[in-house]
Amino acid sequence: MKKILIISNFYLPQKHIAVTRITSFAKYFHEFGYDVTVLTKGVENEFISNDGINIYYVTNKSIISKFDTNKKEAKIIHYLKCVYNIIFTNIFFDEEAGWRKEAIKKFREICINQSFDYILSSAPPISSHIIASEIKQKYPSIKWIADMRDALWSPNYPDNLRNRLLKKSKEILQNCDLLLSVSYPQLLKYRKITNDKINCLEIRNGYDYDTELIRCSRNVKDKFTILYTGNFYGPRNPKNFFKALEMLIKKKSIRNIYVEIIGNNSPISIPHSISNYIQEQDKMEYMDLIKYMCSNADLLLLISPSNIEKGVYTGKLFDYIGTGKPILGLVPKDDVAAKLIEKSKVGYLAENENIVDIMAEIERAYNDWKNKKILIADTKTIKEHHRREQVNRLITYINSNKNKRLEKE
């Protein structure tokens, strides 16, 4: 049985968005017959075995991380933590330098009684890759898979830190045997950063539920229901969608329409003239939300303005696709989300900045619903985006004798 060690700052029971991808790697590597060990950050040092997966939690032993911010001195401690994080980020690339040291120590303990065929590290933060790089240098026979979930060139990083992260990434990623990223355009950028010296593979995110279990008869309604899930933030807002909807209702081009927004915590401005057509609901548990979408939505709304980074799939898109429901994608037509919606044959597309086109696509979707016209989805493409299939794609690649520089679906 082949053994793989997964190194990540994030794992269950943390609530971070990155946890889903990491736990999927662990879950499906185990399902495909691998002996899986996870080395991750925890609130205390402990070992547990969960569903056949061995998990080592290692604490960050830095002094600041030990302070309880709920005490009376919370404000000063919070300030010290901020200063500490800034200093450590600029010196050691992220605030987890203390965790890196303890994780390396724990790895040495684990290796007393076993060895690994593969290491899979996931970043950011880059600390997990630095750990994996050190292990690779000491144990060159271990195959190192470096997973880049997010872009290090994100505008969220200050310029000086971003440049240092890219320089450090170029230095350490030269040692990896395979680089993963969530989209082909992202891989092209990493290929450029590393001077085309490493093997690359696109492993997308995906949905992780049984589509047969959530298939259910739709609640019969006399209203065309558009549903949006999650937060609006920054340029990803419903302003133009609302304008288009307002104009269609004013023209009486559509009737009996209803919009549900579930789980948004950001303030949004709903025009008074359409406020009766829109309802906001609290966040739901993941599977409850999936089932609700399946049984209540006629159209699922996705918004991705043209002024955000290209080559990024949102997790929402995969959850939408898995339901098989029609999608209204207000996204750049030359970007990955639009191409996937087109390939899956599940939706209607318009640029988020083009209100006339948004109106036309809403009206087209509405008329299809009114005339009981059903979009015939490409089930093969949808199935390919289950997380199990994405991990299977990775396993097939590493078990083969391929030596391609770049692999694309």
Instruction: Give the pLDDT confidence of 294-336 residue by residue, as tens digits.
Output: 999 999 999 999 888 888 898 999 999 999 999 999 999 999 9
Lowest mean pLDDT among 25-34, 147-156, 364-373, 398-407: 398-407
Task: Please give the average per-residue pLDDT across 14-30, as a whole number.
Answer: 95
Q: Is the pLDDT of residue 69 over 50?
A: no
134 and 215 housed in the same domain: no
- Please state, rounded to an integer, the average pLDDT across all residues of the chain: 87
Q: What is the mean pLDDT of residues 70-83?
A: 59
Predicted confidence (pLDDT) per residue in 163-176, tens digit: 676 777 777 888 89
| pLDDT value for 158 | 59
Do residues 240 and 202 both lie within one domain? no
pLDDT at 67 > cutoff 50: no
Range with the poorest average pLDDT among 11-20, 28-37, 69-78: 69-78
Same domain, 120 and 249: no
Q: Are strands 53-58 and 46-50 parallel, antiparallel or unpaired?
A: antiparallel
Task: Quote the domain boundaries for residue 329.
Answer: 211-384
- Pair 362, 254: CB distance under 8 Å: yes
Question: Do 144 and 247 share a domain, yes or no?
Answer: no
Measured CA to CA, the distance from residue 306 to residue 330 in angstroms comes to: 9
Q: What is the side-by-side strand order in the sheet with 178-181?
A: 46-50, 53-58, 35-41, 3-8, 118-123, 143-148, 178-181, 200-202, 406-407
- Work out how many domains the chain is built from and give that number: 2
Residue that wins the pLDDT comparison between 198 and 19:
19
pLDDT of residue 152 exceeding 50:
yes
CA distance 349 to 40: 40
Residue 311 pLDDT: 87
Q: How far apart are CA 168 and CA 126, in angstroms?
A: 9
pLDDT at residue number 5:
98
In the prediction, which pLDDT does 106 show? Answer: 95
- Say yes or no to pLDDT of 73 above 50: yes
pLDDT over 60 at 72, yes or no: no
pLDDT of residue 409: 47
If asked whether residues 197 and 244 sit together in one domain, one would say: no
Lowest-pLDDT range of 102-111, 209-218, 306-315, 359-368 = 209-218
Q: Is the pLDDT of residue 7 over 90?
A: yes
Q: In the chain, what percentage of residues exceed pLDDT 70?
A: 83
pLDDT at residue 89 greater than cutoff 60: no
Residues 274 and 160 placed together within one structural domain of the fold: no
CATH of the domain at 317: 3.40.50.2000
Is residue 175 located within the same domain as residue 284? Answer: no
Whether the predicted pLDDT of 404 surpasses 60: no
CA distances in angstroms from 64 to 60, 95, 98, 157, 287, listed in the order given? 10, 11, 10, 22, 37
Same domain, 158 and 258: no
Q: Are residues 90 and 157 in the same domain?
A: yes
> What's the pLDDT at 77?
66
Provide the strand spans (E) within 3-52: 3-8, 35-41, 46-50
* Shared-domain flag, residues 178 and 215: no
Q: Are residues 24 and 91 in the same domain?
A: yes
What's the confidence (pLDDT) of residue 193?
A: 78
138, pLDDT greater than 80: yes
Query: Are 226 and 129 members of one domain?
Result: no
